[in-house]
Amino acid sequence: QVQLVESGGGLVQPGGSLRLSCAASGSIASIKAMGWYRQAPGKERELVALIASGGGTTYQDSVKGRFTVSRDSAKNTVYLQMNSLRPEDTAVYYCFLAASLAGYWGQGTQVTVSS
């Protein structure tokens, strides 16, 4: 069983920063990629950023230049540094892990950008 534990969400003013963390534990045969999705009220879940096992990264266009995804492979942990936050970044952020045979989701952490 794989568990993903997220932390770092909260309330921040526009222009502020937050750092999300997601630690994976359990029987993980082979991690292909880890990253983050988000879901705002009334909208579908969307990709924010992914980092592959080889280090390659993918970002949603709206977060390029503001968000940075990184990982600590030794700790099976992925991070999302979010800078210059905007109200439209408000959402529940979900950690995602793609393994050889399955994908796994975290429970979600709320990020609210508001003055």
H helices, E strands: number in the chain: 0, 11
- pLDDT, residue 1, reads 82
Question: Contact, 38 vs 59, CB < 8 A?
Answer: no
- pLDDT, residue 100, reads 87
Residue-wise pLDDT for 91-107, tens only, equals 999 999 999 889 999 99
What are the tokens at 92?
Answer: 């529940």
Which ranges of the chain would DSSP assign to H, the alpha helix?
none
Question: Contact, 107 vs 14, CB < 8 A?
Answer: no
Question: Contact, 37 vs 96, CB < 8 A?
Answer: yes
**Mean pLDDT within 43-57:** 96
Residue-wise pLDDT for 56-95, tens only, equals 999 999 999 999 999 999 999 999 999 999 999 999 999 9
- pLDDT, residue 113, reads 98
